[in-house]
Amino acid sequence: MSEIRLGILGGGQLGSMLSVAAKKLDIKTVIYSDDQDAPAQNFCDEFIIGSYKDKNKIDNFVKKTSIITYEFENIPYETLNKINKLKTVNPKPSIIRLIQHRIAEKDFVNKLNIRTTRYVSVEKKLDLESLSDFLPGILKTTTMGYDGKGQYPIKSLTELSGLSIDFSKDYILEKLVKLKKEISVIITRFGNNRYEIYEAIENTHENQILKKSKIPAEISDKLIEQSREWSKQISEELKYIGTLCVEFFIDRNDNLYVNEIAPRVHNSGHLTINAFNICQFENHIRAVCSLKQISLKKLHNAEMTNLIGNQILPFRQNLNLNKNEFFFDYLKKEIKEKRKMGHLTKVF
């Protein structure tokens, strides 16, 4: 077989971890990123810096690769679509177009008869005044949000006057769910009805940023079954190839809601590196590159903690780890508040 050269758009920690998994499979990685400090350049075989709209640089990148994927969902759809005419892009670009837009994404999920939070489109501040039914809620930019960026919790109409929100952007207002738990399901789809599904992962957020993930999730069998079924249904309907994550809310009455779909490997799945025979990154590459599908085996229960901002420092300075602890440093140049700098996984 000729050598596979996997092109990855995006150079964050997910790109790094994909590169590490590719190495294990003897696949070379070429990363394209618009960030000259992209941490994945420390892990890939070749690194190209350029804007996601720079046609010449993208063409050069495409020439160096045999198949292409991406590690974050805010890559311009037009770029992916153009690339897809030259080389296969997995997951296919139309999936990105759908999921980049929070309203289109939720409309799609509801059409499958799968529950989401209640939501409404908001174009101007005035719209909000008639929407008390959706409060307390969270106003989110319809595109380009991640890690809680572009989100404004709104408790009541009286709060509105004090808010300075940039209404040149479009928003979605979501009714706040009284959360009991959050879970995610990571699924790798290889083709028609061919899946590997990881068990549901229980997630804890702080300030809308993921803080901890653990397996097993402490939820009922019924919720485990329903979240698996919905995730299968979503990935089948999208004809998805690769690893996908579905984020769910569980409310105080044990109702399950899809929060959002991430068309990529996902932070909550980092524990799969140490807890399963095949991690989410290797499975993504296996599916995207049409390699062999291997049945998942769980090796351990696990808990992953994100190290955000300064929390990385004690681990960098004094690495006294127990045998069951695994520390990952994303090697980001600058420590910033709210920035995911690394993670620690403990297995049990």
- Give the binding range for ligand ADP (CB under 6 A) out of 122-130, 171-179, 231-239, 295-303: 171-179
Nearer to Mg ion, 62 or 244 (CB): 244
189-218 residues in contact with ligand ADP (CB under 6 A) are: 205, 208
> What is the rounded radius of gyration, in angstroms, for the C-alpha atoms of the chain?
20
The SS3 call for residue 78 is helix
Contact 49, 84 (CB under 8 A): no
Task: Return the one option of ligand ADP, Mg ion, none that residue 138 interacts with (CB less than 5 to 8 A, by type).
Answer: ligand ADP
User: What's the CA gap between 341 and 132, in Å, rounded?
Assistant: 38
Nearer to Mg ion, 7 or 150 (CB): 150
**Alpha-carbon distances of 301 from 27, 187, 267, 276, 304, rounded to whole Å:** 29, 18, 17, 9, 10
99-118 residues in contact with ligand ADP (CB under 6 A) are: 117
**Alpha-carbon distances of 211 from 162, 218, 342, rounded to whole Å:** 29, 17, 11
Q: Which of 176, 224, 291, 331 binds ligand ADP (CB under 6 A)?
A: 176
- Going by their DSSP bridges, the two strands 194-197 and 242-251 should be labelled as unpaired
Q: What are phi and psi of 173, to 5 degrees?
A: -105, 125
- Give the binding range for ligand ADP (CB under 6 A) out of 40-48, 63-71, 174-182, 322-330: 174-182
Give 301's DSSP letter. -
Q: How far is the CB of 172 from ligand ADP (least distance, A)?
A: 9
Q: How far is the CB of 116 from ligand ADP (least distance, A)?
A: 9
Task: Return the one option of ligand ADP, Mg ion, none that residue 170 interacts with (CB less than 5 to 8 A, by type).
Answer: none
Q: Which of 196, 199, 260, 282 binds ligand ADP (CB under 6 A)?
A: 260
For 51, other C-beta atoms within 10 Å of its C-beta total: 12
Task: Return the one option of Mg ion, ligand ADP, none that residue 153 interacts with (CB less than 5 to 8 A, by type).
Answer: none
Give 200's DSSP letter. P
User: What's the CA gap between 140 and 153, in Å, rounded?
Assistant: 9
Nearer to ligand ADP, 332 or 340 (CB): 340
Nearer to ligand ADP, 160 or 176 (CB): 176
Residues that bind Mg ion (CB under 5 A): 247
| Residues of the shown chain interacting with ligand ADP in the complex, contacts defined by CB under 6 A | 117, 138, 145-148, 174, 176-177, 179, 182, 205, 208, 247, 259-260
